[in-house]
């Protein structure tokens, strides 16, 4: 049990990578606080965990609201303590050239993806410093490492997360706290499925898989396993790292 007696706060836990991370972390012994802007989705994640005999809580949290994030983190610390923060909540946008993406859409993406990670880190760092331990895992993207045409605002936001994670790691390392990012390639989650029928998505998966050396897109468990590793004591001497999990796309 790699996370026995530890508590993990996971944002965006109501679906996709966040829900899968909650499941994997719970299987390894962690108490899960599932946070999501969709409170019902967070409750569904918790219900699934409880059906499997795991413990935790569900909270409705808007990661753009710094005070709300802080309150949720403080509530978690008071009830369970806190060892792991997974800043996973994120959004994307419709593919468009840079000049076609309007200011409001750009700001929406940056608010959730960048400010959300900032708020999560800022909320937990004092506690982690005080206790002399803690692991932060931020969900970035392959788009934040190599860029992605037609996804300019998304790439901007995820690149910011990669570099911010390095900054966090350098600041909190002397206090025994680690910070890393996971950078997924295209993964079969609700985000890339949006605005596509099931048939369209299956055709897209088949076409895109040709460009991956492992000949498939990612599955949520592929990314959750990477998050689990970075959060666990097995990664005790790894910090400031952006772990690319992309089926080999970036080397092809």
Query: Known catalytic residues?
Result: 154
CA dihedral (168, 162, 16, 13) in degrees, to 10, reads 10
Q: What value, to the nearest 5°, has the Cα angle with vertex 228 and ends 244 and 55?
A: 150
Give all strands of the β-sheet with 31-36 in edge-to-edge order: 56-60, 31-36, 7-11, 84-87, 134-139, 177-184, 242-245
DSSP helix/strand/coil, 54 = coil
> Residue 116: helix, strand or coil by DSSP?
helix
The SS3 of residue 101 is coil
Q: Which residues contact 155 (CB under 8 A, 6 or more apart)?
A: 141, 143, 144, 147, 148
* 166-188 CB burial, b ≥16 within 10 A, e <16: bebbeebeeeebbbbbbbbbbbb
Tokens of 191: 């985000």
Q: What is the Cα–Cα distance from 165 to 112, expressed in whole angstroms? A: 16
């Amino acid at each position: 049990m790699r996370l026995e007696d530890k508590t993990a706060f996971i944002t965006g836990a109501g679906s996709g990578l966040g829900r899968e991370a909650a499941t994997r972390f719970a299987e390894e012994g962690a108490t899960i606080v599932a946070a999501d802007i969709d409170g019902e989705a967070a409750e569904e994640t918790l219900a699934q965990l409880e059906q499997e005999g795991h413990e935790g809580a569900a909270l409705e949290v808007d990661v753009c609201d710094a005070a709300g994030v802080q309150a949720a983190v403080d509530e978690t610390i008071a009830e369970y303590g806190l060892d792991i923060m997974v800043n996973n909540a994120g959004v994307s946008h419709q593919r468009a050239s840079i000049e076609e993406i309007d200011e409001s859409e750009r700001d929406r993406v940056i608010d959730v993806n960048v400010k959300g990670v900032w708020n999560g880190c800022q909320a937990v760092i004092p506690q982690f410093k005080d206790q002399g331990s803690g692991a932060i895992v931020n969900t970035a993207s392959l788009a934040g490492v190599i860029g992605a045409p037609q996804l300019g605002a998304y790439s901007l936001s995820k690149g910011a997360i990669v570099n911010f994670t390095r900054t966090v790691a350098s600041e909190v390392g002397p206090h025994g706290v680690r910070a890393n990012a996971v950078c997924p390639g295209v993964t079969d989650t609700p985000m890339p499925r949006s605005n596509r029928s099931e048939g369209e998505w299956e055709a897209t998966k088949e076409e895109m898989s040709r460009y991956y050396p492992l000949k498939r897109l990612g599955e949520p468990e592929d990314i959750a396993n990477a998050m689990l590793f970075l959060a666990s004591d097995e990664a005790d001497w790894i910090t400031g790292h952006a772990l690319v999990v992309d089926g080999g796309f970036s080397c092809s």
